[in-house]
Amino acid sequence: MQRIYRPADMAEASLLAAVLADHHIRSHISGGYLQGAIGDLPVHDLLGLWVEDEDVDRSTELIHAYLQASPINEEDSELPQP
């Protein structure tokens, strides 16, 4: 397994793991329980998102695409009125 991303928090880690799962890629979040020790441990680099070696390239592409996506503008998402 390889760590492909360092999420900022557990919410981001869970969201990205769900994105990967939607594409049939199994992942593991490391360090999730360490966030409770903040104060005794450094705040940065506690979390990691890991995938199998053969899924590294596709997972990296999916995460990059997710991070580069723009929010949907409600005005743009409305269907044209007849």
For the ranges 1-5, 32-36, 67-71, the one whose mean pLDDT is highest:
1-5
Identity at 45, one-letter amino acid code: D
Residue 16's pLDDT band, with cuts at 50, 70 and 90, is very high
What pairs with residue 27 in β-bridges? 51
Residue 9's pLDDT band, with cuts at 50, 70 and 90, is confident
Pick from 11-20, 34-43, 55-64: least confident:
34-43
- Cα distances (Å, whole numbers) of residue 54 to 15, 46, 59: 21, 24, 10
A 10 A CB-CB count for 11 gives: 9
Three-state secondary structure readout of 27-75: EEEECHHHHHHECCECCCCCCEEEECHHHHHHHHHHHHHHHHCCCCCHH
